[in-house]
Amino acid sequence: MSELTKELMELVWGTKSSPGLSDTIFCRWTQGFVFSESEGSALEQFEGGPCAVIAPVQAFLLKKLLFSSEKSSWRDCPEEERKELLCHTLCDILESACCDNSGAFCLVSWLRGKTTEEQTAGISGSPAESSCQVEHSAALAVEELGFERFHALIQKRSFRSLPELKDAVLDQYSMWGNKFGVLLFLYSVLLTKGIENIKNEIEDSNEPLIDPVYGHGSQSLINLLLTGHAVSNVWDGDRECSGMKLLGIHEQAAVGFLTLMEALRYCKVGSYLKSPKFPIWIVGSETHLTVFFAKDMALVAPEAPSEQARRVFQTYDPEVACTGNKICTPGCPQDLLLSHNIRAHAIHIGVTPGTPGSPEQQGTTPQDHSFQDLEF
């Protein structure tokens, strides 16, 4: 098994200290992208865990179906159209994960009839021109492969252009529906993004993308599929805490994210995810991810001026993120404030000598305090 394969396994699954538990979680993730028989455009999930990949794919699939086609009904989705929708959706997510201008895209597949030497080479020895035949059906049962053998059989193929990638994804359509389709796509996104790039964005690089105990996907994994960035937080922009930089979302997302955890005050979702470009949201509960959507574009809108102002203000006073107030100490450049239509009024607060708690009574020198009251 190649070093790249081992790095990929560690990034996704963590250190494999309990083989039985890892195999159990692994089996829950071994499913393909399968459409429902009752809802033509709906993807099905069979076990707990893979909703971290299935839900974002479902959301982007609906975006393409509702807002990039002229169909009158999203329920009427014949098989050939579903094939096109799924493949284009997978390509869109892979394109957003490609973080450089080289346009290097990766597809991971598992192969049939590989030699022992090829199995040893693993991911690293697989150019796009490989003549090996991709296994398009789940001929081998999950129990026959298992965790270790599956990862010994996977292969990476690289593409230098988006048209080449789209042709390959479409050509391998049946592979996305087999028992390993979700994992193969996940690995394709991770290798397209780059393992080192992902580690640089994740808050704790030692934390695997899939929880080794419960099998759910991390917030970094969800954010990677939604925005192309594997950051661990859902707030707008970056923040600093005790000298440590915490990465957040940097632009309005095409598809939004909401979570019950915010109602419980465990986190705060920023406006970039709350107010996406399209009225489609992934909604997280304690144990599951669900997709909410609508066709009414009036539900979403460009960012409000007050939100823009608050973001500029927060750059110079991080306390705004916690308190939500509009008072800060001097330091915000006036030209920057005016460029965002923010009017600043100086406020001077002094302490009357001799009053209880005054500096004279406390043995200190009286001082005036200056603030800026911002008007959005």
Q: What is the pLDDT of residues 6-41, one digit of tens each?
A: 999 999 998 865 555 677 899 999 999 999 988 889
pLDDT above 50 (res 60): yes
pLDDT above 90 (res 192): yes
Lowest mean pLDDT among 57-61, 227-231, 279-283, 302-306: 302-306
pLDDT of residue 118: 44
pLDDT, mean of residues 86-108: 88
Average pLDDT, the chain: 80
Tell me which range, 20-34, 139-153, 312-326, is most confidently predicted by mean pLDDT. Answer: 20-34
pLDDT band at 213 (very low <50, low <70, confident <90, very high): confident
What pTM, to 2 d.p., does this model score? 0.79
pLDDT, mean of residues 169-179: 93
pLDDT band at 99 (very low <50, low <70, confident <90, very high): confident
**Cβ atoms < 10 Å from Cβ of 326:** 19
Q: How many Å apart are CA 14 and CA 25, to the nearest integer?
A: 12
In contact, 241 and 321? CB cutoff 8 Å:
no
Q: Any idea which residues carry the catalytic annotation? A: 51, 288
Lowest mean pLDDT among 235-244, 297-306, 364-373: 364-373
pLDDT above 60 (res 184): yes
In contact, 194 and 225? CB cutoff 8 Å:
no
Question: How far from the centroid of its chain's Cα atoms is residue 123's Cα?
Answer: 24
Residue 375, beta-bridge partner list: 343
pLDDT of residue 141: 47
pLDDT above 80 (res 190): yes
pLDDT band at 127 (very low <50, low <70, confident <90, very high): very low
Q: How many Å apart are CA 43 and CA 15, to the nearest integer?
A: 31
374 against 195, higher pLDDT: 195
In contact, 114 and 132? CB cutoff 8 Å:
yes
pLDDT above 70 (res 291): yes
pLDDT above 60 (res 210): yes
pLDDT of residue 352: 55
What tokens does 206 get?
A: 């030692």
pLDDT of residue 64: 93
pLDDT band at 117 (very low <50, low <70, confident <90, very high): very low
pLDDT, mean of residues 82-108: 89
pLDDT of residue 131: 36
Cβ-count burial 178-211 (b if 16+ within 10 Å, e if not): bbbbbbbbbbbbbbbbbeebbeebbbeeeebbbb
pLDDT band at 253 (very low <50, low <70, confident <90, very high): very high
84 against 113, higher pLDDT: 84
Lowest mean pLDDT among 175-179, 197-201, 313-317: 313-317
pLDDT above 60 (res 162): yes
pLDDT above 70 (res 277): yes
